Structure 1
Amino acid sequence: MADGSAAALVKTTCPYCGVGCGVSGAVGQAPSSDGRALSVAGDAAHPANLGRLCSKGTALGATVGLQGRLLEPTVNGKAASWADATALVAKRFRDTIARHGPDSVAFYVSGQILTEDYYVANKLMKGFIGSGNIDTNSRLCMASAVAAHKQAFGADLVPGCYEDLDLADLVVFSGHNAAWTHPVLFRRMEAAKARGQKHVVIDPRRTDTAEGADLHLAIAPQSDVRLWNGLLAHLIRIDAVDRDYIAAHVNGFDAVEATLAELDQSPAAVAADCDVALDDLLSFYKLFADNPKTVSLFSMGANQSAQGTAKGLSILNVHLATGRIGKPGSCPFSITGQPNAMGGRETGGMANTLAGHMDFAPADRDRVARFWGAPDTARAPGLKAVDMFEAIHAGKIKAVWVMATNPAVSLPDAGRVREALDRCPFVVVSDCVETDTTAFADVKLPALAWGEKDGTVTNSERRISRQRALFPAPGQARADWRIVADVAKAMGFDGFGWSSQASVFREWARLTAYENTGDETGRVLNLAGLSTLTPETYDQLLPIQWPVRADGRGTPRLFTDGRFQTPDGRARMVPVRPKGPADAMDAAYPLSLNTGRIRDQWHTMTRTGLAPDLCRHAPEPFVEVHPADAEALGVQDGALARVITVRGEAVALAKVTERQRPGGLFMPMHWTDAFAPSGRSNHLIAPNLDPTSGQPEFKHTPARLRPYRETWKGFFLTRDSLALPSGLDLVWRRIPQDACQQHEFAGRGDEVERAALRKGLVKGLVGELVTYEDVATGARRDAWLRDGRLVAVLYITINGRLPPRDWLAELFAESELSQDARSALLFGRPPGAPVDKGPLVCACLKVGAKAVQAAIVAGAASPDAVGAVTGAGTNCGSCRPEIARMIAATAAVPAKEPAHV
């Protein structure tokens, strides 16, 4: 710490994926203008991560500054008091309801808010406004798994726990790139694999998870149901189902068996339809049949589909038919994407559920209404996310409140979502930062960010953990639950007068236990043992898995006794039939566009984009394409390419790789207007929905690919991010660096356009200007210095090459440039011997590809050996698959024969 004193450790929970890692944070003093500094480490006592953190969690200390924060309420762009902003929101919602009815308003919330926030928002909308129109961005991630669970188990119940990942003999990753999306869990499975655990990956892409698997099935897009149905048919054929378990605990087996008989289920037919090698399919069948201790992980690759519910059910059917559920090391396991997707599902954050895993059946609805004292509690589900924004676009919803999410980027057909927000008469956004969505807000309400929030979250294994505040609230920012409760009170509603988040949690826990028998016929989601927490015991709450018994004990696994939350206590197998993708490819759009996450970024980069180290592994938008497709289309590796669908176009860096399936494209979903407006992916996506879950099909949209064919390119380094001049035919992207912001450009215009760009960029720059021009290459290099320090650098070229950027970015950290450095600015190369670290491989420890490659050449033949030399892969381990790939690639290159003399 700056003053030499020791900072107190605060135990909290990571705000990223559904693993729910425990974090220990120590607050210090920073030299920055906002005075914030935070050192973080994994909490070794937290059972979800046992001390490990991924690259994103490790970099949390770099994300707690106040840049870009919303720190005061605004109304129509002008600062307002909380009293005035709250009164206006309450009045506009109240007036809209009075004129057009309760279904004319909506809330769109997020897996980033805490369970207490979710509970209060749901209580206001469903209980007191009386509409079901509250939905969550978890609709985009996990809704199909929820629908499958409810059909099979009677409620949205995840049966397994992380210990099962250690105990399993076989893990099947179905549309789950765990090495990137849940790396801490993947390290546990990597350790189990070293002890003999087998891994099968079902994914059209050869992801980092697939790289090290025992078997990779690169199935055709949306053929998952065909694959899992074929597996079940095979298990029935060889008498590998558990007929005793089925007889005692499962309904629907005969109907599923009859449905399977409608198609040729021979391995050859299934392999052909899934477009996988017959031998590989048979290997999968044998592995599954031979390993009773099997965990099938399914995530967004399975869920994000117009047949996502059917995919989930096909997986659950196999586990129910073989009795692989409720047993150590054996379960189907839906892995959530967000830190509190589960908390939202529990409290009724989805439009088609009430709180406490209760639905809109009259008995459930009346029970919730009695508990809340809210006779106007909604009697029917509301609109799910995509339908909600379509209703806003159509003018049916006239007031919307968006909380802690960025639908202008994250929803499919995002251009139409922006049109909807622009048309909506009244838009409220409560968030901690400015986003693409806040640009449409009539009222902006400043919310607390991670590190300031205090409450609970639930991870993928049903484990409730505390998020605790590390910093005081900045400016006028407030907790989400309090913002909503104040609006509720201003609307004239009682029942929102909590004194703290602890009192909100107690009420929520009491609701789960309300009229809940607590025996085998009751609701499984029951927090009876937490319903009497005092503020002190709430503050000290340790991680615990629900259901929580009256004696305070948690529950690792569900269904251990073979009883489910259905009227007769039996699970239900549900027949599902394979279907092709919702939109077929044709000559105009012959490729299948798949979108998803990358290793070091999170959602729309509002947090991870603040950490330069997390922006170096994949610094700009990219599109993966198979070499055969790239050659046919004239697309070059490392060049810009246009990705086009019927809904729009994006421009991204082409990555030509055999890891991509022929006929397929992959784009990350993270980039926004603030980082790369031309590289946004989700406005390209068709809003095709699963008819049951309402989850969109992000994993398949017909597309085509073309070279961008820029006529010039350049970059601009400056200390601050900037708003680019509008109306120019160019592509740009921003890459955060430690001491500056790097802006990359490419355009197809002429000298007039380049001059217009330069004029816009240099406006307001003050300092000494040094310039170099080369007419032969069309190159121009400008640098601005003030008081000996570098202020900005602009390089542009028409047919020449641009120099490396790293050394230029590092010059911004110098208090005064040397004469050699000043000369190097114009030469376009660093002084002295160039140091090229190569692309970043290990974000945690800042290890580049050149250092890793040098260790491999020197004899490091495993990721552990490379880690011993360089440190790469020794923290979170998410880079270990890439290191293994580099080792394999080096081994595949024949050694040079010694020269003959």
Structure 2
Amino acid sequence: MKRDPDDLLLAAVPPVAETTTRTTCPYCGVGCGVIARVAADGAVSVAGDPDHPANFGRLCSKGSALADTLSLDDRLLDPKIAGATASWDEALDLVARRFAETIAEHGPDAVAIYGSGQFLTEDYYVANKLMKGFIGSGNIDTNSRLCMASSVAGHKRAFGSDTVPGTYRDLEEADLVVLVGSNLAWCHPVVFQRLVVEKERRPSLKVVTIDPRRTATTELADLHLAIAPGGDVALFNGLLLHLLQEGVIDSAFVADHTRGLTDTLAAASGGAGTLAVDTGLDPAEIAAFYALFAATEKVVTVYSQGVNQSVTGTDKVNAIINCHLLTGRIGRPGMGPFSITGQPNAMGGREVGGLANQLAAHMDIDSAADRDRVARFWNTARVTDRAGLKAVDLFTAVADGRVKAIWIAATNPVDSLPDADLVRRALETCPFVVISEVMAATDATPYADVLLPAAGWGEKDGTVTNSERRISRQRAFLPTPGRTMPDWWIFAEVGRRMGYDAAFSYASAGDVFREHAALSGFENEGSRDFDISGLADVDTAAFDNLAPVQWPVRRGDRSDGEGDDQRFFADGRFFTPDGRARFVPTPVLPLQIDASRPMVLNTGRVRDQWHTMTRTGKAARLTSHIAEPFAEIHPEDAARLGVTPAGLVRIASRHGAAVVRALVTDRQRRGSVFVPMHWTGQNSSSGRIDAVVAPAVDPVSGQPGLKATGVDVIPFAASWYGFAVLRDRPSRIPGDYWALGRTRGGHRLELAGCDPVDAETLLCDLVPVLPGDERVAYHDSVRGIGRVALFRDGRLIAALFVAPEPVAVSRSFLVDRLGGEALEPQDRLRMLAGRGGGAAPDKGAIVCSCFDVGVNSIVQAIVSGGAMSVADVGRALKAGTNCGSCRSEIGRVIDACRIQKTG
């Protein structure tokens, strides 16, 4: 009997008594445990779970602000067809019918699903089963293709399986930690703090960072290698040869447990040029790194997007693994290669075969035996016999008409994929687009024929797997609002409506998990690494109470999922046909970028934001540190290109362009420019940097090279700049450049334009002025300066500052006054100064988002209170005492004060 979805809705009524729920953070791959408390009035607070083995109570700034992101004002709460509200039955029937019609007319490869590492494992499993098992196409890929596909490919080439060998404990047990292409301090702050604490306890622990930029992570490093873009393969090939020459080789391990060393050494010896040229590093720096690696047995090499997001990303992964195989430094405490994932459940997606070239439970589409096994388990004759289209190729196929119906869930490819304007055009012309979404408005939702309202964090129930293979429960602690439903349920209902009722008759996320666990052990007998069959029989109560556990958890094992036996490969047994690991030749290839555009664009994340800011952008404290898109550029490049500090620059490739703020800093490598990936058309005029990124991909993994696109960097010719604080979000924003962010009590807005503007007219365009509102203004027509503030009942509701150069006012001072108490007439006039006086302290630009501590407050603590260490500042102001990701910035403030004092 078909269920009526609308009968399953839960009323969004606050609980009548306080509840406490253990759940998991929905951000990066660290997988931190969270305790969510819901008060009797419905107010939510969050704290780190001290018993969770990933974080032991710590949360980063993003995790700490989770409660600030739960508002419903911008949520998608009802299904919509062609923009009009519909019932679930209408929407789901339409999706099932259109997919079935497209398949009948054009074949199964004419439809596709594009999912997300934001999925819970149960969501991933059902979507993958529907597409690969019953529709019969491999055309399901996810935004995890942008995150760690090169790691998957590198693992499979070397180990025969996508196996992460080690655990977070290895970072604490190592004597040398090498961080390659990983700004761990900002992107995985809680794991970074575990490393910081261990280095403080044991100063002999050495840290090396390999990154073109001098990031917050490098503050911890004993050695920083500012490598040239694309130089990683050459560096680790050189290390491999150095280890061999120095006799640092585990001969027995190599002879008994590996193959392919001879060919790999031959490839490593054939570099394109000298090592210094290929890496862009000083020979003395290279020698220091090689000597340290050779002399230290307990080495962990942690790598992330700087390695994976490359057109040679898979070779980079294997070049790193080759060095660990040569020395036998794998699978034992404190040693091994360690891929740390960017998304909360990228690992769970890998477990269920969420990528286009995988089958469920770490089985292979290319294997007839694996296909037969999965088909028998799922009781289907439709299992696909070939890989589907990977993310970049998938949207190319949408654009050229090969894919005629696409279902996008929990992600926004219009902003996150390279050549993002092509993705937008593809969705404009696609005959049928379905989007499952939490938010009512994203840059993708205007192109949806059907919008399906998905449950969000706090409402969903299921599991996620972190970077160390630890499965944790994500538990619901809020009712599902409106008509929102979990993603697994939505996919299952479409499967039922397409005629596969028996295969998708799940009653709960627990049902999906049990099937997933059972498949992992089906005809396994130790032949596959992923096995959680020991959890296949958990009943509802046991699933509800499931504690964090690392896989494998095999049926009959006595292990509790903890301890040294959770590492792989210590016994020298791998998952290749002969049980031996493979050395993989990794030739040095020239960096493939547009030579006519001399600067190299690198993209990535900032400390307090996540992906396209649909969640973190709602938390005012998370926009206080960095509130607009920016470009890091070296001072010599800035001078050569005519870029002024805090001015605007146009970053352009042959694919697209973005306009962002210039941050001139010697922390950036010459010839490179860094722009963060987070800004979209919802919060900026032209901050969508992935519209600029070239769509070139790694030929093995299909992962795009998001770290190296040839670009022009051109000063943006603004005739005026502006800054505003606004109580209400403006319905229209004039100006050629703008960036909008949340604040306590409203919004902050950066502006610029090419044509002259009048400040009062501009303010009226931004804010409706009501009768009785009071306006105070200052104008200097000679200097081109205009300042105007608007008060309602004595309270500041808007202020705008316009100048011919970047506006020099205290953002934090104005933000703090927005929507505050009614001001006396003389204080209203003082607002036009744009900064506090003696009676109104100005905390300055925010450094610590967790506790809202600004740079001026830190300087005051240093100058007047003698706080001359990061710990001192923490004791005085609490800054840096929560997630710790601002500690390096606090340290730089202290150093600057020392220099000023001695000078």
TM-score (norm 1): 0.94
Q: Secondary structure at the match of 1:523?
A: coil
Shift of 1:264: 8.5
Give the counterpart letter for 1:7 in structure 2. Answer: E
Report matched runs for 1:650-729 at 5 Å: 650-724=658-732
Question: Structure 2 residue aligned with 1:72, among 64, 69, 78?
Answer: 78
Question: Structure 2 residue aligned with 1:730, among 736, 742, 747?
Answer: 736
Shift of 1:729: 5.3
Q: Secondary structure at the match of 1:493?
A: coil
What CA distance in whole angstroms lies between the structure 2 residues aligned with 1:68 and 1:359?
41
Question: Unaligned 5+ residue runs, structure 1?
Answer: 31-35, 897-901
Question: Structure 2 residue aligned with 1:646, among 654, 657, 667?
Answer: 654
What CA distance in whole angstroms lies between the structure 1 residues aligned with 2:159 and 2:715?
49
TM-score (norm 2): 0.94
Residue in 1 that maps onto 2:874 = 867
Count of residue pairs brought into register by the alignment: 878
Residue in 2 that maps onto 1:151 = 157
Report matched runs for 1:734-753 at 5 Å: 734-751=740-757
Give the counterpart letter for 1:399 in structure 2. Answer: A
What CA distance in whole angstroms lies between the structure 1 residues aligned with 2:95 and 2:168?
43
Question: Structure 2 residue aligned with 1:761, among 758, 766, 791?
Answer: 766
Structure 2 vs 1, CA of residues 781 and 765 (structure 1 numbering), >3 Å: closer, same or farther? farther
Residue in 2 that maps onto 1:348 = 353
Shift of 1:622: 0.7
> In 1, are the aligned partners of 2:722 and 2:807 still within 8 Å (CA)?
no
> In 1, are the aligned partners of 2:177 and 2:299 still within 8 Å (CA)?
yes
1:45 aligns with 2:56: no
What CA distance in whole angstroms lies between the structure 2 residues aligned with 1:569 and 1:800?
62
1:256 aligns with 2:264: yes
Describe the superposition over 1:21-79 as per-residue Cα deviations: whole angstroms up to 9, x where unpaired: 0001101266xxxxx52111110100000111111111111111112100111111110
> In 1, are the aligned partners of 2:813 and 2:844 still within 8 Å (CA)?
no
Report matched runs for 1:58-207 at 5 Å: 58-194=64-200, 195=202, 196-207=204-215
Q: Secondary structure at the match of 1:484?
A: helix
> In 2, are the aligned partners of 1:627 and 1:656 still within 8 Å (CA)?
yes
What CA distance in whole angstroms lies between the structure 2 residues aligned with 1:104 and 1:67?
36
Residue in 2 that maps onto 1:412 = 418
Q: Secondary structure at the match of 1:595?
A: strand
Give the counterpart letter for 1:814 in structure 2. Answer: G
1:581 aligns with 2:586: no
Over aligned residue pairs, what C-alpha RMSD do you find?
2.0
Shift of 1:782: 4.0
Q: Secondary structure at the match of 2:566?
A: coil
Shift of 1:559: 1.2
Shift of 1:833: 3.4
> In 2, are the aligned partners of 1:766 and 1:784 still within 8 Å (CA)?
no
Residue in 1 that maps onto 2:6 = none
1:481 aligns with 2:509: no
1:848 aligns with 2:873: no
Shift of 1:138: 0.5
Report matched runs for 1:539-550 at 5 Å: 539-550=544-555
1:12 aligns with 2:23: yes
Describe the superposition over 1:345-395 as per-residue Cα deviations: whole angstroms up to 9, x where unpaired: 110110000100111111111111111111011110000000000000001
Shift of 1:635: 1.1
1:531 aligns with 2:536: yes
What CA distance in whole angstroms lies between the structure 2 residues aligned with 1:606 and 1:397?
27
Residue in 2 that maps onto 1:899 = none
Question: Structure 2 residue aligned with 1:284, among 270, 275, 289?
Answer: 289
> In 2, are the aligned partners of 1:132 and 1:351 still within 8 Å (CA)?
yes
> In 1, are the aligned partners of 2:314 and 2:701 still within 8 Å (CA)?
yes
> In 1, are the aligned partners of 2:272 and 2:588 still within 8 Å (CA)?
no
Residue in 1 that maps onto 2:643 = 635
Report matched runs for 1:492-503 at 5 Å: 492-494=499-501, 495-503=503-511
What CA distance in whole angstroms lies between the structure 1 residues aligned with 2:336 and 2:578?
21
1:210 aligns with 2:218: yes
What CA distance in whole angstroms lies between the structure 2 residues aligned with 1:37 and 1:47?
27
What CA distance in whole angstroms lies between the structure 1 residues aligned with 2:612 and 2:504?
32
What CA distance in whole angstroms lies between the structure 1 residues aligned with 2:761 and 2:680?
24
Give the counterpart letter for 1:891 in structure 2. Answer: R
Describe the superposition over 1:850-884 as per-residue Cα deviations: whole angstroms up to 9, x where unpaired: 22223334433332222122211111111111122
Q: Secondary structure at the match of 2:659?
A: strand
What CA distance in whole angstroms lies between the structure 2 residues aligned with 1:414 and 1:447?
24
Give the counterpart letter for 2:544 in structure 1. Answer: D
Report matched runs for 1:319-334 at 5 Å: 319-334=324-339
> In 2, are the aligned partners of 1:766 and 1:786 still within 8 Å (CA)?
no
Residue in 2 that maps onto 1:436 = 443
Q: Secondary structure at the match of 2:141?
A: strand
Shift of 1:783: 4.0
> In 2, are the aligned partners of 1:777 and 1:799 still within 8 Å (CA)?
no
Q: Secondary structure at the match of 2:651?
A: strand
> In 1, are the aligned partners of 2:399 and 2:426 still within 8 Å (CA)?
yes
What fraction of aligned residue pairs are identical, expressed as a percent?
Answer: 51
Question: Structure 2 residue aligned with 1:293, among 290, 295, 298?
Answer: 298
Q: Secondary structure at the match of 2:714?
A: strand
What CA distance in whole angstroms lies between the structure 2 residues aligned with 1:52 and 1:142?
25
Shift of 1:827: 5.8
Residue in 1 that maps onto 2:307 = 302
Report matched runs for 1:552-631 at 5 Å: 553=559, 554=561, 556-586=566-596, 589-631=597-639
Residue in 2 that maps onto 1:33 = none
What CA distance in whole angstroms lies between the structure 1 residues aligned with 2:218 and 2:808?
35
Structure 2 vs 1, CA of residues 4 and 242 (structure 1 numbering), >3 Å: closer, same or farther? closer
Q: Secondary structure at the match of 2:105?
A: helix
Describe the superposition over 1:399-430 as per-residue Cα deviations: whole angstroms up to 9, x where unpaired: 11000001100000111110011111111110
> In 2, are the aligned partners of 1:820 and 1:831 still within 8 Å (CA)?
no
Question: Structure 2 residue aligned with 1:358, among 346, 352, 363?
Answer: 363
1:369 aligns with 2:375: yes
Question: Unaligned 5+ residue runs, structure 2?
Answer: 1-13
> In 2, are the aligned partners of 1:842 and 1:848 still within 8 Å (CA)?
yes
> In 2, are the aligned partners of 1:211 and 1:885 still within 8 Å (CA)?
no
Describe the superposition over 1:739-779 as per-residue Cα deviations: whole angstroms up to 9, x where unpaired: 01112210001349x78855542457565242425233444
Structure 2 vs 1, CA of residues 867 and 4 (structure 1 numbering), >3 Å: closer, same or farther? farther
> In 1, are the aligned partners of 2:777 and 2:789 still within 8 Å (CA)?
no
Shift of 1:339: 0.4
Describe the superposition over 1:447-484 as per-residue Cα deviations: whole angstroms up to 9, x where unpaired: 01111111000000000000001100011110000011
Give the counterpart letter for 1:810 in structure 2. Answer: D
Shift of 1:849: 1.1
Question: Structure 2 residue aligned with 1:26, among 37, 58, 63?
Answer: 37
> In 2, are the aligned partners of 1:777 and 1:800 still within 8 Å (CA)?
no
Describe the superposition over 1:504-563 as per-residue Cα deviations: whole angstroms up to 9, x where unpaired: 10001011111111x3xx111011110001011000000000110224632521112110
Residue in 2 that maps onto 1:337 = 342
Give the counterpart letter for 2:474 in structure 1. Answer: Q
What CA distance in whole angstroms lies between the structure 1 residues aligned with 2:773 and 2:493?
53
Question: Structure 1 residue aligned with 2:248, among 228, 240, 255?
Answer: 240
> In 2, are the aligned partners of 1:124 and 1:488 still within 8 Å (CA)?
yes
Q: Secondary structure at the match of 1:793?
A: strand
Structure 2 vs 1, CA of residues 765 and 685 (structure 1 numbering), >3 Å: closer, same or farther? farther
Q: Secondary structure at the match of 1:678?
A: coil
